[in-house]
Amino acid sequence: QVQVVESGGGLVQAGGSLRLSCAASGLTFSRYGMGWFRQAPGKERAFVADISWSVSGTAYVDSVKGRFTISRDNAKNTVYLQMNSLKPEDTAVYYCAARSQGLYGRYDPSKYDYWGQGTQVTVSS
């Protein structure tokens, strides 16, 4: 009965912004770390950002540091990814995932328990 659903993707010009949302249900949301991954055509699924149970613990891949911000609202069972200064190389399907294991596995897709269906982000030049 666990569901993880992303929304907010779309087409945007380079330099623009998008805010992705991920709503989770059927789990105790505050007990899970939440991560964002992305996958471009022909590429492997790659880590983007993660936020821990405590909210204050965050991690980002180097290529998005200073441009993307991950946050969560436990009262709404929702995690967000604010994406600013978007570049064409950010084009991908973005996936939200829930992690019950510790921080040691935050960069590893296999350590996440539940995944959303993905939302497409396309950045034009």
pLDDT in tens, 66-119: 999 999 999 999 999 999 999 999 999 999 999 998 878 889 999 999 999 999
> What does the CA dihedral 38, 117, 82, 92 come to, rounded to 10 degrees?
30
Residue 38 is which amino acid? Answer: R
Q: What angle do CA 18, 83, 62 make, to 5 degrees?
A: 155
- Cα–Cα distance for residue pair 57/72, rounded to 1 Å: 11
Q: What is the predicted pLDDT for the residue at 56?
A: 65
Q: How many residues does the chain have?
A: 125
- Cα–Cα distance for residue pair 111/125, rounded to 1 Å: 35
**Segment 55-67 mean pLDDT:** 91
- Supply the DSSP symbol for 11: E
Residue pair 88/123 in contact (Cβ under 8 Å)? The answer is: yes
- Cα–Cα distance for residue pair 109/22, rounded to 1 Å: 17
- Cα–Cα distance for residue pair 8/5, rounded to 1 Å: 10
Q: What is the predicted pLDDT for the residue at 123?
A: 98
Q: What is the predicted pLDDT for the residue at 99?
A: 94
